[in-house]
Amino acid sequence: MNIDLWRPRSGGDVHSAAVVPKKLMDQAYGKFSARLKVTRAAPGYKSAWLHYGHGCELDYPEQNWTDTIHAFTHACDGGRQDAFPTKARWTDWHTVSTEWTPDHVKYFLDGKLIGPARGTPDRPLSWIVQNESALYGPYAAPGSRANLQITWVAGYTYGSTCAAG
Protein backbone atom coordinates (compact mmCIF):
# COMPACT_ATOMS: atom_id res chain seq x y z
CA MET A 1 0.00 0.00 0.00
CA ASN A 2 1.29 3.43 -0.92
CA ILE A 3 0.04 6.24 1.33
CA ASP A 4 0.78 9.77 0.10
CA LEU A 5 0.12 12.71 2.38
CA TRP A 6 0.42 16.29 1.16
CA ARG A 7 -0.55 19.89 1.73
CA PRO A 8 -1.52 21.96 -1.31
CA ARG A 9 0.86 24.71 -2.43
CA SER A 10 -1.94 27.22 -1.82
CA GLY A 11 -2.09 26.16 1.83
CA GLY A 12 -5.18 24.62 3.37
CA ASP A 13 -5.40 21.32 5.17
CA VAL A 14 -3.16 18.28 4.98
CA HIS A 15 -4.58 15.52 2.81
CA SER A 16 -4.43 12.46 5.05
CA ALA A 17 -5.44 8.79 5.02
CA ALA A 18 -7.12 6.50 7.53
CA VAL A 19 -7.56 2.89 6.42
CA VAL A 20 -9.99 0.69 8.35
CA PRO A 21 -9.66 -3.07 7.79
CA LYS A 22 -13.38 -3.98 7.92
CA LYS A 23 -12.80 -7.57 9.05
CA LEU A 24 -11.05 -6.22 12.14
CA MET A 25 -13.69 -3.74 13.28
CA ASP A 26 -15.33 -4.12 16.71
CA GLN A 27 -13.05 -6.98 17.69
CA ALA A 28 -11.88 -7.91 21.16
CA TYR A 29 -8.37 -9.38 21.29
CA GLY A 30 -5.99 -10.50 18.58
CA LYS A 31 -2.63 -9.80 17.00
CA PHE A 32 -2.18 -6.99 14.51
CA SER A 33 1.01 -6.64 12.47
CA ALA A 34 2.42 -4.69 9.52
CA ARG A 35 5.65 -4.11 7.64
CA LEU A 36 6.23 -0.42 6.92
CA LYS A 37 8.66 2.34 5.99
CA VAL A 38 8.34 6.09 5.51
CA THR A 39 10.02 6.74 2.16
CA ARG A 40 9.57 10.51 2.31
CA ALA A 41 9.55 12.15 5.73
CA ALA A 42 8.71 15.82 6.17
CA PRO A 43 7.87 17.93 9.23
CA GLY A 44 4.17 18.02 9.97
CA TYR A 45 3.20 14.41 9.15
CA LYS A 46 2.64 11.42 11.45
CA SER A 47 0.97 8.08 12.00
CA ALA A 48 -1.27 7.00 14.84
CA TRP A 49 -2.41 3.47 14.11
CA LEU A 50 -4.94 2.81 16.79
CA HIS A 51 -7.33 0.34 18.29
CA TYR A 52 -10.14 2.60 19.32
CA GLY A 53 -13.61 2.58 20.80
CA HIS A 54 -15.67 2.69 23.97
CA GLY A 55 -13.27 5.10 25.70
CA CYS A 56 -10.20 2.89 25.10
CA GLU A 57 -7.21 3.49 22.87
CA LEU A 58 -4.08 1.52 21.95
CA ASP A 59 -1.76 3.50 19.64
CA TYR A 60 1.03 1.70 17.79
CA PRO A 61 2.94 2.70 15.83
CA GLU A 62 2.57 6.40 16.56
CA GLN A 63 4.60 9.59 16.30
CA ASN A 64 5.78 12.24 13.86
CA TRP A 65 7.55 10.72 10.85
CA THR A 66 10.62 12.89 11.55
CA ASP A 67 10.80 11.41 15.08
CA THR A 68 11.11 7.80 16.30
CA ILE A 69 8.40 5.15 16.60
CA HIS A 70 6.44 5.03 19.89
CA ALA A 71 3.58 3.02 21.40
CA PHE A 72 0.95 4.47 23.74
CA THR A 73 -1.83 2.94 25.78
CA HIS A 74 -4.66 5.14 27.07
CA ALA A 75 -6.65 3.52 29.87
CA CYS A 76 -10.34 2.90 29.18
CA ASP A 77 -11.28 4.88 32.28
CA GLY A 78 -9.44 7.98 31.03
CA GLY A 79 -6.78 7.53 33.70
CA ARG A 80 -3.16 6.54 33.20
CA GLN A 81 -1.24 6.42 29.98
CA ASP A 82 1.69 4.13 29.21
CA ALA A 83 4.31 5.34 26.71
CA PHE A 84 6.95 3.19 25.05
CA PRO A 85 9.46 5.18 23.00
CA THR A 86 11.97 3.43 20.75
CA LYS A 87 15.08 4.56 18.90
CA ALA A 88 13.69 3.19 15.61
CA ARG A 89 13.40 5.69 12.76
CA TRP A 90 10.30 5.67 10.56
CA THR A 91 12.57 5.87 7.51
CA ASP A 92 13.85 2.29 8.02
CA TRP A 93 11.88 -0.88 7.30
CA HIS A 94 10.16 -2.22 10.43
CA THR A 95 7.64 -4.87 11.42
CA VAL A 96 5.26 -3.65 14.13
CA SER A 97 2.86 -5.85 16.10
CA THR A 98 0.30 -5.35 18.83
CA GLU A 99 -0.65 -8.49 20.73
CA TRP A 100 -3.86 -8.12 22.75
CA THR A 101 -5.29 -10.94 24.88
CA PRO A 102 -7.61 -10.96 27.90
CA ASP A 103 -4.44 -10.94 30.04
CA HIS A 104 -2.14 -8.43 28.35
CA VAL A 105 -1.32 -5.88 25.66
CA LYS A 106 2.21 -6.15 24.27
CA TYR A 107 3.92 -4.09 21.61
CA PHE A 108 6.67 -5.56 19.40
CA LEU A 109 9.13 -3.89 17.04
CA ASP A 110 10.98 -6.18 14.65
CA GLY A 111 10.09 -9.15 16.86
CA LYS A 112 11.37 -7.59 20.10
CA LEU A 113 9.10 -6.61 22.98
CA ILE A 114 9.13 -2.84 23.54
CA GLY A 115 6.45 -2.69 26.18
CA PRO A 116 3.84 -4.57 28.12
CA ALA A 117 1.03 -2.12 28.87
CA ARG A 118 -0.68 -1.97 32.25
CA GLY A 119 -4.34 -2.84 32.00
CA THR A 120 -6.09 -4.59 29.16
CA PRO A 121 -9.18 -3.33 27.31
CA ASP A 122 -12.04 -5.79 27.77
CA ARG A 123 -14.33 -4.45 25.06
CA PRO A 124 -14.31 -4.57 21.25
CA LEU A 125 -12.15 -1.99 19.47
CA SER A 126 -11.62 -1.16 15.80
CA TRP A 127 -8.18 -1.06 14.14
CA ILE A 128 -7.64 2.19 12.27
CA VAL A 129 -4.46 2.66 10.21
CA GLN A 130 -4.44 6.45 10.64
CA ASN A 131 -1.91 8.78 8.96
CA GLU A 132 -2.33 12.51 9.46
CA SER A 133 -0.91 15.91 10.30
CA ALA A 134 1.43 16.06 13.29
CA LEU A 135 0.10 17.01 16.71
CA TYR A 136 3.17 19.00 17.72
CA GLY A 137 6.01 20.79 15.96
CA PRO A 138 5.62 22.75 12.75
CA TYR A 139 2.54 22.33 10.61
CA ALA A 140 3.24 20.77 7.20
CA ALA A 141 4.57 23.42 4.83
CA PRO A 142 2.48 24.41 1.81
CA GLY A 143 3.51 22.22 -1.13
CA SER A 144 5.09 19.55 1.12
CA ARG A 145 4.62 15.82 0.63
CA ALA A 146 5.27 12.70 2.70
CA ASN A 147 4.97 9.00 1.87
CA LEU A 148 4.48 5.74 3.76
CA GLN A 149 4.90 2.30 2.19
CA ILE A 150 3.21 -0.76 3.71
CA THR A 151 4.20 -4.12 2.24
CA TRP A 152 1.67 -6.15 4.25
CA VAL A 153 -0.76 -6.06 7.15
CA ALA A 154 -2.21 -9.02 9.02
CA GLY A 155 -4.82 -9.35 11.70
CA TYR A 156 -5.51 -12.43 13.77
CA THR A 157 -8.50 -12.89 16.00
CA TYR A 158 -7.97 -14.36 19.43
CA GLY A 159 -7.97 -18.14 18.96
CA SER A 160 -8.14 -18.14 15.13
CA THR A 161 -6.76 -16.32 12.10
CA CYS A 162 -8.33 -13.60 9.98
CA ALA A 163 -6.11 -12.14 7.28
CA ALA A 164 -6.75 -8.45 6.69
CA GLY A 165 -4.69 -8.06 3.56
Decide: helix, strand or coil at residue 164: coil
CATH says 2-157 is which class? mainly beta
Q: Can you give the pTM of this predicted structure?
A: 0.91
The domain limits of the chain are 2-157
pLDDT at residue number 79: 66
> pLDDT tens for residues 116-140?
888 789 899 999 999 999 988 899 9
Give the pLDDT band of residue 8 (cuts 50, 70, 90): very high
Enumerate residues 6+ apart whose C-beta is below 8 A from 146. 4, 5, 6, 38, 40, 41, 42, 44, 45, 65, 140
Decide: helix, strand or coil at residue 77: coil
- How many other β-carbons are positioned within 10 Å of the β-carbon of residue 160? 7
